[in-house]
Structure 1
């Protein structure tokens, strides 16, 4: 008789947890994982003797769909103050330790010393380490840098590319694109994505310029482009912009992305911004939350001169999300949408991610009673385990 396979090499994984939020609470406490997907959910599932199952006992933890961060400077952002101000790239451990299973990599201001090819290489490296990683082609500037020389080809031929971004508007660092240029970019992204069966999001960076969301309002008013094709981010940069974002979301039934700023400065924290949008009547399902992590948080004077910067971290994303639940801004099952289900829908990944359901990717985060991630599984493989850090 052959000896039993070691636990880590078993073909199946059974998570025995205390509670499951799918995001709605389920009458189940076990998750059976096979071939990277959720195979069964139930109460005290019994596995036939001899099946090659790795059992994870975690009855004290709550299972939720692993978080999705749609705005990550995976190769590092920054550079606004010279080469010495380039931010570091992020590690797979830093991602998974926050309960995040999926990230979307972006370029920012600097597409000279960094390129879409750098982002693609990093994305594939993160995938090799177990993270579900994707990317936007392009950067702040217009015309955007691409991998193949063409936006449509990038989307059609490169699986990891799911959209274009982050294109900067209403910002002194942007290329000041004309309205017709913005429309052409979104149109090209839409068609390229259609050819590949993708959503093809255009991820727009909003600065604190006086034009605010006007270019996107015009886009949705004057063209046939649907609202789910564009996602404005950093909408909580200052109160007037957030109020405009609320009007935009309600007028077009459009999603807006709040940034979990580590130091909000003149803006609003992620918690305050989400609370204000909800007060204005914006449905929770139209609000997402992202980190902008490993990007720069630069400070400029009134004339746009560089004064200094900090490096954004994804710890603020989880801290803001935890506060939303603890301070009862949103119940747990609704708050999960801001960093999971609604993000999957926005990105066009909702057929496989953002829920704990049979057939979905086995991306699972186990939370303790303080909502702190203790274990993160991506496609059924454990990529973070807090209990092993001191071993």
Structure 2
């Protein structure tokens, strides 16, 4: 029986499932949620008759931490081919349907027609619709556009801002920042985050330029900035860059982010990239995956002339992740880290997200035997899926 003092009276939800992965497998099949938190885990939990509670019977499904996507163009990316090539915004349903409960919104090439203020409005809109949403201040260019005119103030005063990004380096679309400029914006992000009690990561877009990760290697070698302050993404853009990313992760005990490209072209799929990083000896805990969804996948010729583009989707992220488990590259417990536990740690959200544990936020995804999301709960509320409530 759950003790009566476990929570204050109010609407609660009890999930009865076939198994729980926290990400490690738990000897429990019941999750009790109230006040946006997980308040109990167990088997056949008894509920006092006078408690207002809804029961979700899902014995054919397994419960895992709701997925976290740290790189989402929530307001749409694109624009490299003119205003007619702007990508559409993403919807809360498109996010939740993939089992994703938390997203971090990002601006890319276009920091002109889309501003940090637009991004903040969209992030707050998603939160109002049930998605747990955050944002990076900035965009590709340096100095980065901000909300308050200052990176430190953005981090200190705006709760939704958890870092800076995506800053473009080694890319013909970047502003070609000098090394001292990179060092300054990273240090500003670090100080602003310290004042706000946040991790304050700097999310770096890595292009296919010849410098690769050299600016970040210099940053970590020549300054006192810790490796967990910096996250390079799109490191699977081409095989040589992925090899460099493996060396970078091993040399600095750093994390790297793999993009689940829908059409990898000359690069590697998210599945292949994770497989190769593991072969190189990179620890699974140092690898994350993100979708880049609703961003553009532009094609340029050798001279940098725009040829066309596609719009990225988050369906590829889940498909690549499922394949890693199905083909035995990683057991489910470790694979969950790539899109939940590891991401929560990287973002500094690890004390409340990325695990199914008492006191953590009640962000839960229910998967079927094919690892396909069937229901998504954020802060204890079902935001996607067919109702199974008794």
Do they superpose with TM above 0.5? yes
* Residue correspondence of structure 1 range 195-210 to structure 2 within 5 A: 195-210=195-210
Paired residue secondary structure (1:64): strand
Residues 31 and 42 in structure 1, CA contact (< 8 A), matched pair in contact too: yes
In the alignment, the residues of structure 2 paired with residue 133 and residue 200 of structure 1 have an alpha-carbon distance, to the nearest angstrom, of 15
- Displacement of 1:50 in angstroms is 1.6
Structure 2 residue aligned with 1:103: 103
In the alignment, the residues of structure 2 paired with residue 311 and residue 327 of structure 1 have an alpha-carbon distance, to the nearest angstrom, of 28
1:219-263 Cα distance to aligned partner (Å, 9 max, x none)? 000000000000000000000000000000000000000000000
- Displacement of 1:34 in angstroms is 1.0
- Displacement of 1:150 in angstroms is 0.1
Paired residue secondary structure (1:320): helix
- Displacement of 1:386 in angstroms is 4.2
Structure 2 residue aligned with 1:188: 188
Residues 352 and 361 in structure 1, CA contact (< 8 A), matched pair in contact too: yes
Paired residue secondary structure (1:209): coil
Structure 2 residue aligned with 1:268: 268
Structure 2 residue aligned with 1:42: 42
- Displacement of 1:10 in angstroms is 6.2
In the alignment, the residues of structure 1 paired with residue 33 and residue 267 of structure 2 have an alpha-carbon distance, to the nearest angstrom, of 42
Distance 1:91 1:280, change over 3 A: same
Residues 259 and 291 in structure 2, CA contact (< 8 A), matched pair in contact too: yes
Q: List runs of 5+ in structure 1 lacking aligned partners.
A: 1-8
Structure 2 residue aligned with 1:307: 307
In the alignment, the residues of structure 1 paired with residue 29 and residue 381 of structure 2 have an alpha-carbon distance, to the nearest angstrom, of 19
- Length-normalised TM-score, structure 2: 0.97
In the alignment, the residues of structure 2 paired with residue 46 and residue 186 of structure 1 have an alpha-carbon distance, to the nearest angstrom, of 51
Q: Does 1:146 align with 2:171?
A: no
Paired residue secondary structure (1:268): coil
- Length-normalised TM-score, structure 1: 0.96
Structure 1 residue aligned with 2:82: 82
In the alignment, the residues of structure 2 paired with residue 111 and residue 161 of structure 1 have an alpha-carbon distance, to the nearest angstrom, of 16
* Residue correspondence of structure 1 range 279-294 to structure 2 within 5 A: 279-294=279-294
Structure 2 residue aligned with 1:112: 112
Structure 2 residue aligned with 1:296: 296
1:98-154 Cα distance to aligned partner (Å, 9 max, x none)? 000000000000011000000000000000000000000000000000000000000
Structure 2 residue aligned with 1:6: none
* Residue correspondence of structure 1 range 1-391 to structure 2 within 5 A: 11-386=11-386
Residues 374 and 387 in structure 1, CA contact (< 8 A), matched pair in contact too: no
In the alignment, the residues of structure 2 paired with residue 348 and residue 380 of structure 1 have an alpha-carbon distance, to the nearest angstrom, of 21
In the alignment, the residues of structure 2 paired with residue 68 and residue 10 of structure 1 have an alpha-carbon distance, to the nearest angstrom, of 28
Paired residue secondary structure (2:95): helix
In the alignment, the residues of structure 2 paired with residue 382 and residue 179 of structure 1 have an alpha-carbon distance, to the nearest angstrom, of 46
In the alignment, the residues of structure 2 paired with residue 121 and residue 195 of structure 1 have an alpha-carbon distance, to the nearest angstrom, of 24
Residues 10 and 54 in structure 1, CA contact (< 8 A), matched pair in contact too: no
1:172-191 Cα distance to aligned partner (Å, 9 max, x none)? 00000000000000000000
Over the residues paired in the alignment, what is the CA RMSD in angstroms?
A: 1.0
1:271-317 Cα distance to aligned partner (Å, 9 max, x none)? 00000000000000000000000000000000100000000000000
In the alignment, the residues of structure 2 paired with residue 41 and residue 87 of structure 1 have an alpha-carbon distance, to the nearest angstrom, of 42
